[in-house]
């Protein structure tokens, strides 16, 4: 067996060296120089081989073995043979691509290198053709150039890090060929079926291409897509030039290709999807449970409506209803290859997952008991302020990606802080400020779930209730309830109507215990909220009337009423569950996926609406398939750590029945909840009922900025409403999204029948994917990372006075409260999860940003530049608001500014930043 020189990196200068490894040769591996942003490789191969067998040839610094072998000659109008023909013109083309490397623990990529080499040697190579905007009468499609081969394919590369390669080629075409509007790529490296390894696939990612015409005009191609072997994609991969066209304005030579590509992407709705497929189709959520642990199929019925997810086509279980689940933690559900995390995102996600698992496991060394004993006992999970991190570091820097892995490398055996969780900013300045009632109320406006508070519209309530005027009015600063209602000073957080129907089923599980909660708040004269009372309800037996308990804040400023504290914990547990499966999962992750599928099925990549939305879809399908595998599935993290347990997703289905697209627009949402009223003289035409409502205040500025940009973008391509209605792709897209992607919801839609409606549609999708998601996602660790502040689970009901349980509460209230909340195992699993979810990738793309070269249209770039500038202005405005002491709801007793809608962020756990998409 060959021996390789000792080396820290697995780096092959040429994949042919693998042949020498298996044949007994001795190879010197060359370590690459550090290069965080590799330049495209253009040089010939430097191959260093020393034979271990007598008589074999030694090659040193030899050009690539394929350099002088023309196994696939250039066709007509291809190579140098046309250079002197006066009837031909030369079109110079460059293509930059990245070859596949290790994806996770996929060793198949090593073998794919061997396979690619073998394919090159037998003449199965990668070729490129140009497609003209002008029609070839013989085909009815664009004129085709001859094929040109990607020569010097086997260039040196690092199997662990993506290396861009640039290929330059000349095309000689007739002078009447016209302007290239597309390129056609054939990956001739056929796949190989190996019983042990399954199918070894050959793939590469074309990042971009440039065509230089004889007049020096440059045509760009923004590709950013994976190309599989032509035996899996027999017609090759088509990439259109980086131009935007509605169907009506598409060059004649591209119209047929445009339509055919959409048909290919739509598929025929049959068969099991394979890794190399590029098909977008819909399916119901029938893959969450198992035959021995079933869950309802979500979607496709009146009883359990739901948005659709990406169809995989896997076979059904013997029950004929549920889709088989993939085994193994590394197994992925099918999504199109281009929707998968890129290398940086995937390595960061896996690294953060590993870091979180280390936290979870090593934290057990510091928490031995099943239940926490005290709040200080919970605090032992975190790196103490002043030891590994100062308060300033916690507040300003947080933990950067892989910081805990770095600590692992350097940590000595007696480093007691290695692998502890980062200190949540909530308790970094004041470890007890979170217990204050004012902070409990403030987080309803500026916490991780600020979307549920609404004005109280009437009193007494129409439903049965134990809350009376005698309970409420003494706390209203001299106002009557009627006066407070008229002045819009009373607000509610209502989980009574939303949860009462499930409380008995949840409590029958025995492992968690819950109430249907209803919490009343009053807006004080200083503009802050204070809680008035909490009503907790249990359903009556056999359909009888519910039973109620009402809890009031302690009247003594420095004395805690622990029954009130337990009541707050039950409210927060309801809020945590509703936040995770409704505000977060349902309204962003699940609701956006059908729009992603519809956009790819019905809108060409050349369509201006596709271009506007595509950045708002990045990584969403990948994180969603991961969630179906381990987060929202039967026995997954949500069911393990949140009070509703096995009913969590079922409850989200019931809430989705009332989901309306028009209500996802921030202004409409605020109006519906009574948190704003129409006022033409107010900014954005809305006056906030609570002026210092951070989520709404910052959100309206961002909403208006997004809408202004979308309007500018749409104005470029549509002259009037008639042009919108005449756009067949656009109409098919919106019909597909409504009637297939969200097929169970028939109300609350607007039609794409005018420019204004189209702007509203695109703005709403972009808002939900960016700002809405950021507001409910990146504050999770900030507010729930310290479990008692926002517990995900309650395991006991509140004891009655005079019982042994009540006595235990009075004797040791912290211990009793913690015995009621999530235990240590559940807490660590939840903390680990939300730490991962709250962490930004190092290559995140934020609101107001687009990848380099995303469009060649100067009008589109100018409109987006205007938008980017406005986002920067809003960022400065948010900073100034947070510094204004008059805005008391933005900082609170915990001294944490509201930055969840601060657009930009660095990587890591920063508690701010708005990615363009639902990317985590």
Domains and CATH numbers, the chain: 88-242 (2.60.60.20), 435-580 (3.10.450.60)
Q: What is the pLDDT of residues 769-805, one digit of tens each?
A: 999 999 999 999 999 999 999 999 999 999 999 999 9
The pLDDT assigned to 291 comes to 85
SS3 711: helix
Average pLDDT over residues 739-768: 98
Q: What is the pLDDT of residues 321-354, one digit of tens each?
A: 899 987 665 567 899 999 988 766 665 555 555 5
399-403's contacts with Cβ under 8 Å and 24+ in sequence apart are 399/908, 399/909, 400/906, 400/907, 400/908, 401/348, 401/351, 401/352, 401/839, 401/840, 401/841, 401/842, 401/907, 401/908, 402/348, 402/351, 402/352, 402/355, 403/908
| pLDDT band at 59; cut points 50, 70, 90 | very low
Residue 585 has pLDDT above 70, yes or no: yes
Q: Active-site residue 335, yes or no? A: no
- CA–CA distance, 648 with 696 (Å, rounded to integer): 27
- CA–CA distance, 582 with 772 (Å, rounded to integer): 12
C-alpha closest to that of 902 among 913, 910, 889, 911: 913
Residue of 496, 589, 607, 772 marked active site:
589
Share of the chain above pLDDT 70, in %: 79
Average pLDDT over residues 47-72: 27
DSSP state of 585: I
Average pLDDT, the chain: 85
Q: Active-site residue 713, yes or no? A: no
Average pLDDT over residues 367-389: 79
SS3 794: strand
Residue 449 has pLDDT above 80, yes or no: yes
Count, residues in the chain = 920
Q: Which residues face 130 on adjacent strands?
A: 183
| pLDDT band at 151; cut points 50, 70, 90 | confident
Residue environment code for 596-608, b if the CB has 16+ CB neighbours within 10 A, otherwise e: bbbbbbbbbbbbb
Residue of 352, 777, 887, 911 marked active site:
777
Q: What is the pLDDT of residues 78-132, one digit of tens each?
A: 444 456 788 999 999 999 998 876 544 444 455 666 667 766 766 678 999 999 9
The pLDDT assigned to 510 comes to 95
Q: Which residue has the higher pLDDT, 588 or 410?
A: 588
Instruction: Starting at the earlier edge strand, list the strands of the sheet with 164-174.
Output: 164-174, 88-99, 203-212, 218-228
Q: Environment class of residue 503 by beta-carbon count within 10 Å: exposed (0-12), middle (13-18) or buried (19+)?
A: buried
Question: Which tokens go with 820?
Answer: 């009621």
The pLDDT assigned to 193 comes to 59
With contact defined as beta carbons under 8 Å apart, do 301 and 641 qualify?
A: no
Residue of 359, 616, 773, 790 marked active site:
773
Residue 233 has pLDDT above 90, yes or no: no
| pLDDT band at 357; cut points 50, 70, 90 | low
Average pLDDT over residues 179-202: 76
The pLDDT assigned to 811 comes to 96
Q: Active-site residue 589, yes or no? A: yes
| pLDDT band at 229; cut points 50, 70, 90 | confident
Give the predicted TM-score (pTM) of the model.
0.88
The pLDDT assigned to 17 comes to 36
The pLDDT assigned to 646 comes to 97
With contact defined as beta carbons under 8 Å apart, do 222 and 615 qualify?
A: no
Question: Which tokens go with 753?
Answer: 């029948």
The pLDDT assigned to 556 comes to 77
Residue of 584, 610, 713, 742 marked active site:
584
The pLDDT assigned to 354 comes to 54
Q: Which residue has the higher pLDDT, 328 or 41?
A: 328
Share of the chain above pLDDT 90, in %: 71
Average pLDDT over residues 622-646: 95
Q: Pairing state of beta strands 11-12 and 26-27?
A: unpaired
What element of type H or E holds 640? helix 637-641
Average pLDDT over residues 166-174: 95
Q: Active-site residue 790, yes or no? A: no
Region of 911 on the Ramachandran plot (φ > 0 left; ψ -120 to 50 alpha; else beta): left
Q: Active-site residue 772, yes or no? A: no
The pLDDT assigned to 407 comes to 37
Q: What is the pLDDT of residues 847-901, one digit of tens each?
A: 999 999 999 999 999 999 999 999 999 999 999 999 999 999 999 999 999 999 9
């Amino acid at each position: 067996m060959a021996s390789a020189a000792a080396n820290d990196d697995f780096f092959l200068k040429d994949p042919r060296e693998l042949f020498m490894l298996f044949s007994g040769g001795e190879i010197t591996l060359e370590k690459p120089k550090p290069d965080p942003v590799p330049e495209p490789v253009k040089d010939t191969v430097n191959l260093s081989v020393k034979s271990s067998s007598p008589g074999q040839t030694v090659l040193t610094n030899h050009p690539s073995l394929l350099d002088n072998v023309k196994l696939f000659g250039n066709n007509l109008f291809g190579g140098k043979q046309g250079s002197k023909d006066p009837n031909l013109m030369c079109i110079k083309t460059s293509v930059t691509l990245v070859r596949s490397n290790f994806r996770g623990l996929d060793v198949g990529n090593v073998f794919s290198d061997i396979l690619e080499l073998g394919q090159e040697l037998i003449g199965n190579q990668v070729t490129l053709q140009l497609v003209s905007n002008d029609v070839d009468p013989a085909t009815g499609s664009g004129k085709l150039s001859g094929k040109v081969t990607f020569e010097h394919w086997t260039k040196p590369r690092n199997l662990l890090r993506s290396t861009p390669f640039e290929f330059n080629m000349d095309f000689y075409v007739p002078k009447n060929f016209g302007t290239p509007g597309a390129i056609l790529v054939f990956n001739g490296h056929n796949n190989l079926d190996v019983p042990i390894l399954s199918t070894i696939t050959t793939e590469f990612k074309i990042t971009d291409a440039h065509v230089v015409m004889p007049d020096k005009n440059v045509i760009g191609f923004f590709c950013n897509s994976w190309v599989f072997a032509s035996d899996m994609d027999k017609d090759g991969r088509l990439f259109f030039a980086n131009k935007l066209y509605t169907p009506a304005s598409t060059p004649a030579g591209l119209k047929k290709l445009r339509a055919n590509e959409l048909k290919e992407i739509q598929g025929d709705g049959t068969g099991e999807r394979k890794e190399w497929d590029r098909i977008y189709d819909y399916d119901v959520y029938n893959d969450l449970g198992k035959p021995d642990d079933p869950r309802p199929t979500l979607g496709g019925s009146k009883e359990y409506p739901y948005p659709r997810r990406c169809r995989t086509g896997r076979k059904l279980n013997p029950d004929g209803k549920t889709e088989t689940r993939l085994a193994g933690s590394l197994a992925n559900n099918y999504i199109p290859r281009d929707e998968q995390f890129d290398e940086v995102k995937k390595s960061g996600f896996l690294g953060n997952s590993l870091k979180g698992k280390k936290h979870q496991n090593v934290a057990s060394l510091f928490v031995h008991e099943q239940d926490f004993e005290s709040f200080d006992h919970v605090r032992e999970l975190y790196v103490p302020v002043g030891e590994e991190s100062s308060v300033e570091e916690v507040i300003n820097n947080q933990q950067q990606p892989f910081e805990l892995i770095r600590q692992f490398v350097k940590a000595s055996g007696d480093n007691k802080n290695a692998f502890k969780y980062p200190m949540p900013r909530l308790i970094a300045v004041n470890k007890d400020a979170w217990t204050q009632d004012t902070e409990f109320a403030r987080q309803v406006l500026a916490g991780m779930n600020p979307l549920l508070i609404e004005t109280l519209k009437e009193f007494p309530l129409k439903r049965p209730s134990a809350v009376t005027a005698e309970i409420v009015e003494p706390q209203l600063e001299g106002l009557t309830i009627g006066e407070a209602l008229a002045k819009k000073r009373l607000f509610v957080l209502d989980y009574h109507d939303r949860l009462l129907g499930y409380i008995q089923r949840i409590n029958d599980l025995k492992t968690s215990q819950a109430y249907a909660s209803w919490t009343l708040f009053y807006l004080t004269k200083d503009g802050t909220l204070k809680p008035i009372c909490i009503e907790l309800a249990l359903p009556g037996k056999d359909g009888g009337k519910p039973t109620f308990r009402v809890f009031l804040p302690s009247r003594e400023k420095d004395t805690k009423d622990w029954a009130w504290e337990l009541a707050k914990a039950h409210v927060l547990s309801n809020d945590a569950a509703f936040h995770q499966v409704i505000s977060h999962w349902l309204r962003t992750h699940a609701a956006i996926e059908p729009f992603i599928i519809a956009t790819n099925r019905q809108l060409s990549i050349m369509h201006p609406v596709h271009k506007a939305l595509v950045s708002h879809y990045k990584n969403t399908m990948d994180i969603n398939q991961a969630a179906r595998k381990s987060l929202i599935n039967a026995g997954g993290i949500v069911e393990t750590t949140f009070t509703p347990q096995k009913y969590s997703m079922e409850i989200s289905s019931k809430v989705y029945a009332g989901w309306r697209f028009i209500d996802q627009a921030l202004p409409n949402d605020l109006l519906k909840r009574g948190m704003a009223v129409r006022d033409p003289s107010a900014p954005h035409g809305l006056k906030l009922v609570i002026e210092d409502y951070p989520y709404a205040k910052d959100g309206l500025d961002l909403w208006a900025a997004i809408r202004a940009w979308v309007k500018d973008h749409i104005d470029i391509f549509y002259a009037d409403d008639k042009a919108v209605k005449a756009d067949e792709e656009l109409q098919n897209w919106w019909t597909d999204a409504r009637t297939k992607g969200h097929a169970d919801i028939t109300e609350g839609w607007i039609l794409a029948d005018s420019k204004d409606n189209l702007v509203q549609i695109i703005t709403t999708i972009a808002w939900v994917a960016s700002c809405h998601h950021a507001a409910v996602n990146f504050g999770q660790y900030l507010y729930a990372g310290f479990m008692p502040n926002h517990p995900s689970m309650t395991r006991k009901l509140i004891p009655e006075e005079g019982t042994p349980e009540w006595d235990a509460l009075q004797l040791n209230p912290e211990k009793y409260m913690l015995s009621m909340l999530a235990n240590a195992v559940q807490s660590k699993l939840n903390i680990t999860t939300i730490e991962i979810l709250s962490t930004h990738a190092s290559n995140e793309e934020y609101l107001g940003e687009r990848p380099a070269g995303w469009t060649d249209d100067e009008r589109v770039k100018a409109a987006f530049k205007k938008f980017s500038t406005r986002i920067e202005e809003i960022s400065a405005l948010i900073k100034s608001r947070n510094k204004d002491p008059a805005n008391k709801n933005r900082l609170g007793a915990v001294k944490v500014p509201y930055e969840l809608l601060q657009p930009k962020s660095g990587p890591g756990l920063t508690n701010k930043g708005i990615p363009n998409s639902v990317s985590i």
